C-alpha cells in the first residue's frame, strides 16, 4: 500500500453483510474529492467466517487506488447495544463519567465487558425540572478487539472505530451546521441487511437513535415467498430496484414492489413511532421529510414508506458533496449511491475531528 498523501484521509472501510466497500477522500478548500473506491461482494455467511472475511478485506485494501495504511471502521452491529436514559443537568465535563457509571448501574448486562459512550440528545421536561436525555452506545469489548486484531494482522492502523449510525450520518451532518439549522429536526434511515437504523437529529446533533429488526434480508424473504424464487434470485430482484424510479410501471419492478410492501409498511410504522416519540419528548416539530440510505434503499421503498408515513421519503445522495466524476458511471450516480453512505462517512472521519478541533480553538481565542 502506498504512503498516505498530504490532505488524504483514512480509508473508510464498511464491512457489510452483502459487500465490503472502501472509500478514500482528499480534503480540498471547497470540501473533498474522491481519491479511490472499491467494492467486494460477499455472502452474509462470510461475516461469520473470520478467515474468509480476512481474505475479503485484504483483497479490497490491495486496490492500487488507495494510499497509506490508515483505516476507519465500524463496530460490528452484533457488538453494539443502544439504550436511552436520563440524568439531571450537569456540566459537560462531568457528564461522560456520570453517564458511564449510571449506565452500568441501570443496565445489568453492560456492567462487564463493554465500553460505553453516551451521546447527549437534548433536554426533556419543564424548565425547572429539565433532565438530560442520553443515547447510550455500549460496545462489546471482546468482539471489538477481535475486529481490531484482524486489522492489525492486515498491517493497517485503525484511526477510528465507531458505530455505523454515526458514520452514515456524517455525510449529511456537514450540511446541517448553519445557525438556521440549529433547531431543525431531520430524519435519516439506514436500511441494512438485518436491521434498520432510525436516526433523528436536531441540526447536526443526534437526538434520537433506534435499531429496528427489519432489513434487506426480510425484504428478500418476502420476495422469495411471494414470487416463488430461490433466495439468490430474490436478492437480485430487490437490488434491481435501485435502478427503478418512483412511478416505474415495469412489471418486473411492480411484482417485486408488491411483494415487499407489507415489510416496508411495517418499517414505516416503526419510523412513524420514532418521529412521534421525538416530537413529543423534545416538543419539536416533525421533520418535513425522511432520507433513506443503505443497501436496501431505493425509490420503490421510498415511495411505499412515504405512503405509510404521509411524509415525503427520499433516497439520500451522500456523494453530492464529493467530486466523483469518472469514478462511477452515470446510471450509478443517478441512483444516489445510497449503499456507499457508511463508507463515505467513515472516510470523512478525520474531517469531522478537524472541524471539532477548529471549533475548540475558536472558543479558546474568543475566551
Per-residue pLDDT tens over the stretch 159-184: 999 999 999 999 999 888 888 888 89
Which secondary structure element, helix H or strand E, spans residue 313, and what is its range?
strand 313-315
- Nearest 5°: the CA angle 215, 170, 45 is 35
Residue 155 has pLDDT above 70, yes or no: yes
Residue 333 has pLDDT above 70, yes or no: yes
Per-residue pLDDT tens over the stretch 100-116: 999 999 999 998 999 99
What is the maximal distance between C-alpha atoms in the chain? 67
> 45 falls in which pLDDT band (50, 70, 90)?
confident
Pick the CATH number of 177-316 from 3.40.47.10, 3.30.420.40, 1.20.120.530, 3.90.79.10: 3.30.420.40
Residue 353 has pLDDT above 50, yes or no: no
pTM score? 0.89
User: Can you state the angle between helices 216-227 and 251-281, rounded to 10 degrees?
Assistant: 140
Give the per-residue pLDDT at 360: 30
Give the per-residue pLDDT at 70: 94
Q: b/e string for 186-208 if b means 16 or more Cβ within 10 A?
A: bbbbbbbbbbbbbbbbbbbebbb
Question: What is the C-alpha to C-alpha distance for residues 14 and 61, in angstroms, rounded to an integer?
Answer: 12
Question: Residue 339's closest CA among 25, 13, 21, 75?
Answer: 21
Average pLDDT over residues 252-275: 94
User: Can you state the angle between helices 216-227 and 231-240, rounded to 10 degrees?
Assistant: 110
Distance of CA 215 to the CA centre of its chain: 13
Amino acid at each position: 500500500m502506498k504512503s498516505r498523501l498530504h490532505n488524504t484521509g483514512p480509508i473508510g472501510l464498511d464491512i457489510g453483510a452483502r459487500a465490503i466497500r472502501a472509500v478514500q477522500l482528499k480534503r480540498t478548500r471547497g470540501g473533498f474529492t474522491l481519491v479511490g473506491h472499491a467494492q467486494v461482494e460477499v455472502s452474509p455467511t462470510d461475516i461469520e467466517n473470520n478467515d474468509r472475511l480476512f481474505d475479503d478485506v485484504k483483497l479490497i485494501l490491495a486496490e492500487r487506488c488507495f494510499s497509506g495504511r490508515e483505516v476507519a471502521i465500524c463496530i460490528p452491529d452484533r457488538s453494539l447495544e443502544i439504550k436511552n436514559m436520563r440524568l439531571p443537568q450537569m456540566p459537560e465535563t462531568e457528564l461522560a463519567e456520570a453517564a458511564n457509571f449510571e449506565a452500568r448501574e441501570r443496565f445489568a448486562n453492560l456492567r462487564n465487558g463493554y465500553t460505553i459512550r453516551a451521546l447527549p440528545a437534548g433536554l426533556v421536561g419543564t424548565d425547572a425540572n429539565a433532565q438530560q436525555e442520553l443515547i447510550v452506545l455500549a460496545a462489546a469489548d471482546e468482539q471489538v478487539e477481535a475486529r481490531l486484531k484482524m486489522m492489525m494482522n492486515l498491517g493497517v492502523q485503525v484511526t477510528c472505530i465507531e458505530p455505523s449510525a454515526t458514520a452514515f450520518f456524517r455525510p449529511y451532518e456537514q450540511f446541517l451546521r448553519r445557525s438556521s439549522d440549529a433547531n431543525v429536526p431531520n430524519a435519516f434511515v439506514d436500511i441494512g441487511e438485518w436491521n434498520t437504523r432510525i436516526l433523528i437529529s436536531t441540526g447536526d446533533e443526534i437526538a434520537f437513535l433506534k435499531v429496528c429488526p427489519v432489513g434487506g434480508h426480510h425484504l428478500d424473504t418476502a420476495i422469495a415467498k411471494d414470487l416463488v424464487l430461490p433466495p439468490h434470485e430474490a436478492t437480485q430482484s430487490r437490488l434491481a430496484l435501485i435502478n427503478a424510479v418512483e412511478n416505474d410501471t415495469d412489471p418486473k419492478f411492480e411484482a417485486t414492489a408488491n411483494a415487499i410492501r407489507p415489510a416496508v409498511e411495517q418499517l414505516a410504522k416503526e419510523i412513524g413511532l420514532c418521529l412521534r416519540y421525538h416530537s413529543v419528548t423534545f416538543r419539536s416539530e416533525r421533520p418535513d421529510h425522511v432520507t433513506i440510505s443503505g443497501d436496501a434503499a431505493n425509490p420503490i421503498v421510498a415511495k411505499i414508506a412515504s405512503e405509510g408515513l404521509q411524509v415525503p421519503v427520499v433516497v439520500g445522495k451522500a456523494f453530492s458533496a464529493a467530486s466523483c466524476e469518472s469514478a462511477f458511471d452515470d446510471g450509478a450516480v443517478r441512483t444516489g449511491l445510497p449503499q456507499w453512505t457508511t463508507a463515505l462517512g467513515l472516510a470523512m472521519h478525520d474531517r469531522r475531528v478537524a472541524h471539532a478541533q477548529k471549533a475548540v480553538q475558536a472558543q479558546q481565542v474568543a475566551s
